[in-house]
Amino acid sequence: MLNKGKVEVVEELWNDFFADPTDWLDNRSTKRSTNSPDFVHASTKEALWIDGRLNPPWIQGKLTELAAPPSERGKRVVFGSNHTNIEIKKSNCARSIGNAELLADLQDLCKRGHVNEFLHAVEDLKFQGCRIKTIITSLLQFCICSKDLRLAEAADKLAENSGLGPHAFLGSRLIEAFGICGSLSSACKVFRRIPRPTLVSWNALLAAHVKCQQYEKTLQIYRSMCQQSVTVNEYTFVPVLKACSNLRVLSVGQIIYCHIVDMGLWFDANIGSCLIHMYANCGTLVDAQRVFEKLPMGSSLLLIAMIDIYVEHDHIEEALELFETHYNHEIQPNVGLFVSILKGCSISGDLCRGRYIHAEIILNALESDTYVATSLIDHYIKCEQLEDAHDIYRSLSRKDVVTCSLMIAGFIQHGYPQESIQLLEQMQQLGLHPNHVTFASILQACANLGAWDLGHIMHANMIESGSQIDSYVISGLVDMYGKCGSLEDAHSVFCKPSNRNVVIWSSMMTSYLMHEDYMAALQCFVAMQNEGLKPDHVAFTSAISVCNQQGLVYEGCQHFERLEGYRYTWMLEHYANMIGLFGRAGCLVEAEAIIQSMPLLATIEGWLTLLGSCKMYGNNYLASKCLQNLMLSDPVLASQYLNILSYKAVDDLNDMPLSELSQ
């Protein structure tokens, strides 16, 4: 069964080979081992062997019929024995080699995020005679790396306009690209255009649905495949198990596991990794451990999966022990393993172990790997070792958008907005285009500095470059304009998206509060709920703060109680606003009750707020209790207030018996 699924994949590659052999490089005349492939796809690097054991039976006859002689290494495959024809093909190949250099330039543009320049260069390639199918394959390859929807759309449009038709191999790549870019509707349209979908096409469709978080639909597609007797393979089960994991449907996952066992695929490392995640997400960590122990430790995928599960479930110590048990024994060190264990060190704040892992990374010569370096930077930032993080960043010979964005965010988090802006300038000098994560971090820096001019320029750059502007960037723009004093700009940005989420609404509420437009903030809170959105902590804090400022006791109590209804935990700022609200309204007993009901020790600020209200309303007895609690919490601060307060409560406090003060 397993071989049958793989045969179908290989057969599709051969069909692509015979449809256009000049897309494939011929290695037959130079290969030194039978393990080396005879033909390699110029763009995708897929490999084919003439005597491959998974070849369909008709391959040999087709090759004999076409009589393909070996070409020079690096030359495109040619058919026929006519020497003239071969020379003509070599001439075309010379042009292809020139095009290969252009394709390399395209890849560099894509890696640096210059998508607009990339698309213009594609047009140039068409005019210079580069084959359309090669361009489309390159577009899709770069699209999958960059996750930029424009590249997938350009490839789809080019394929349609060129009359290539619904080719199964190309269609599968398009489905994969659209899925990675989050455009599920486009992926489904491509699938429907394929007259006879192959297993690769079905698997791409399953993966696209999982990528777009359509887990129930993923299981429906799998059921449809079973009903249509589509032969499945290990690549089918990976997205199906991921769907079960995210839906937490253990019973369905166990049925899928039975299918896997029936096909003899239970030992596959990718499937084993997904099974571990599924059992853990369904709440059966013991079963996840059992799967891990049952499978042969031949792949680091299983170890990485188990470490990830321990980290996600806050079993950090078990994750670190597992790493130390298997490290350098059954499993050789690799990038994925180091990235996984560094995540555990970062969450636990274990700087000492993180430094040990860093030393092992250096010993294994992996410190220059981008993924490892990014994880190290993240670890040191979270452990508040900003200088160490910056040292690693500076040591990178080739910086990318992710590492730059992470370092910029680190400077912001640790209160260095000026340094983050300088790093942005260096990033642009390197020819790197900021992404939405970079923009969100820089907007936060502009907000903290009150730099409206720079923030406005960044906003214009985002629009001009066609960068992705997600909800967090919009929220950052609203927050930046609000903090820089331009409520009009904040409101203009807020009004543009039609599908505003709670993060954007909360940012607008906060901006109104900063400008003391309390009623507008409260109207936002109501309008957000009218659109069916559930307020978050930030929105509730803003709403209660408005009630505090406006003396709206009844409304403030309602919002405070609704927090519990939404199963939110009351936070310090919620308590502080309620103490201020009751205190301003003269409800001093209620304010004291709020302080006494706090599950954590009442803050000094809470007692000071109530003390100010006591002075306003002349409640000497309660003021004395406030001072008493202040003395117990912070004697130094309390004594300073005793020295400066001209208030009868001080005398009352001095008259209190020592036994009462110590209560």
pLDDT at 253: 93
Task: Give the Cα separation of 514 and 100 in Å (integer).
Answer: 56
User: What pLDDT was estimated at residue 114?
Assistant: 63
Distance from chain centroid for Cα 102: 31
- pLDDT of residue 5 exceeding 70: no
pLDDT for the residue numbered 93: 36
**pLDDT value for 214:** 92
| Beta bridge partners of residue 327, listed in sequence order | 331
Cβ-contact 150, 117 below 8 angstroms: no
What pLDDT sits at residue 294? Answer: 87
Tell me if 377 sits within 8 A of 407, measured CB to CB. Answer: yes
Nearest to residue 528, comparing CAs of 554, 559, 503? 503
Q: In angstroms, what CA-CA distances link 393 with 377, 390, 445, 567?
A: 7, 5, 19, 41
Residue type, 659: S
- What percent of the chain is predicted at pLDDT more than 90? 31
* Residues 6+ away with beta carbon under 8 Å from 264: 1, 2
Q: Please classify residue 227 by burial: count the beta carbons closer than 10 Å to its beta carbon, then call 0-12 exposed, 13-18 middle and 19+ buried.
A: exposed
Q: What is the rounded average pLDDT of the residues 501-510?
A: 91
DSSP symbols for 517-547: -HHHHHHHHHHHHHTTPPP-HHHHHHHHHHH
* pLDDT over 50 (residue 123): yes
Whole-prediction pTM value?
A: 0.57
Residue-wise pLDDT tens digits, 195-245: 889 999 999 999 999 998 899 999 999 999 999 999 899 999 999 999 999
Interval 563-608: pLDDT, tens: 877 767 777 788 888 999 999 899 999 999 988 887 655 567 788 8
Q: Which amino acid is at 472?
A: Y
Residue 234 near residue 270 (C-beta atoms within 8 A): yes
Q: What is the pLDDT of residue 2?
A: 40
Give residue limits of the domains in the chain.
Answer: 2-81, 570-661
Asked if 466 contacts 497 with a C-beta cutoff of 8 angstroms, the reply is no
659 pLDDT exceeds 70? no
pLDDT tens digits, one per residue of 362-404: 999 998 898 999 999 999 999 999 999 999 999 998 888 889 9
Cβ pair 540, 574 in contact under 8 A: yes
Q: Give per-residue pLDDT as tens, 34-43.
A: 667 888 887 6
Please enumerate in sequence order all residues whose Cβ is within 8 A of that of 419, keeping only pairs 6 or more positions apart, or say none: 411
End-to-end CA distance of the chain: 78
Q: 438 and 401 in contact (C-beta within 8 Å)?
A: yes
**Ranges 161-170, 303-312, 481-490, 614-623: which has the least confidence:** 161-170
Q: Give the chain's mean pLDDT.
A: 81
The reported pLDDT for the residue numbered 32 is 61
Per-residue confidence at 494, pLDDT binned at 50, 70, 90?
very high
User: Token pair of 460, please?
Assistant: 């214009």
* pLDDT score of 287: 92
442: nearest Cα among 417, 460, 465? 417
Rounded to whole angstroms, the Cα distance separating 536 from 65 reads 69
Angle at the Cα of 116 from the Cα atoms of 477 and 412, rounded to 5 degrees: 30
pLDDT value of residue 81: 41
How would you classify the pairing of strands 39-41 and 24-26?
antiparallel
Between 271-280, 320-329, 512-521, the lowest mean confidence (pLDDT) is in 320-329
Length of the chain: 663
At residue 611, does pLDDT exceed 80? yes
Q: Which residue has the higher pLDDT, 641 or 449?
A: 449
The whole-number average pLDDT for the span 424-438 is 82
Indicate whether 661 pLDDT > 50. no
Q: What was the pLDDT predicted at 662?
A: 39
The whole-number pLDDT of residue 224 equals 94
What does the block give as tokens for 444? Answer: 């936060």
Q: Which residues contact 524 (CB under 8 A, 6 or more apart)?
A: 505, 508, 509, 512
Name the burial class of residue 359, with classes exposed (0-12), middle (13-18) and buried (19+) by CB atoms within 10 angstroms of its CB: exposed
Tell me what pLDDT residue 628 has: 82
Q: Token pair for residue 522?
A: 């409260």
> How far apart are the C-alpha atoms of 253 and 359, rounded to whole Å?
40
Of the listed ranges 7-21, 356-370, 632-646, the one predicted with least confidence: 632-646
Query: What DSSP designation does 248 have?
Result: T
Per the listing, tokens 């310090």 go with 572
pLDDT at 472: 84
What is the average pLDDT across 119-143?
Answer: 67
Under 8 Å between Cβ of 521 and 513: yes
Higher-pLDDT residue of 413 and 599 is 413
Torsion on CA atoms 181, 185, 190, 196, rounded to nearest 10: 120
Tell me which residue has tokens 């930030």. 538
Amino acid at residue number 256: I
Q: What percent of the chain has pLDDT over 70?
A: 80
What is the per-residue pLDDT for 107? 61
Once rounded to an integer, what is the mean pLDDT over residues 484-498? 91
CA 16 to CA 57: how far, in whole Å? 16
- Sign for the pseudo-dihedral over CA of 277, 280, 285, 290: negative
Residue among 482, 647, 28, 425 at smallest CA distance from 504: 482
Dihedral over alpha carbons 276, 281, 282, 288 (to 10 degrees):
20
pLDDT at 255 over 80: yes
pLDDT per residue over 66-121, tens digit each? 655 554 444 555 554 433 332 323 333 333 434 555 556 666 665 565 666 666 66
Concatenated DSSP letters of 452-513? HHHHHHHHHHHHHHT----HHHHHHHHHHHHHTT-HHHHHHHHHS-SS--HHHHHHHHHHHH
| Cβ(578)–Cβ(596) below 8 Å | no
Query: Does residue 420 register a pLDDT over 70?
Result: yes
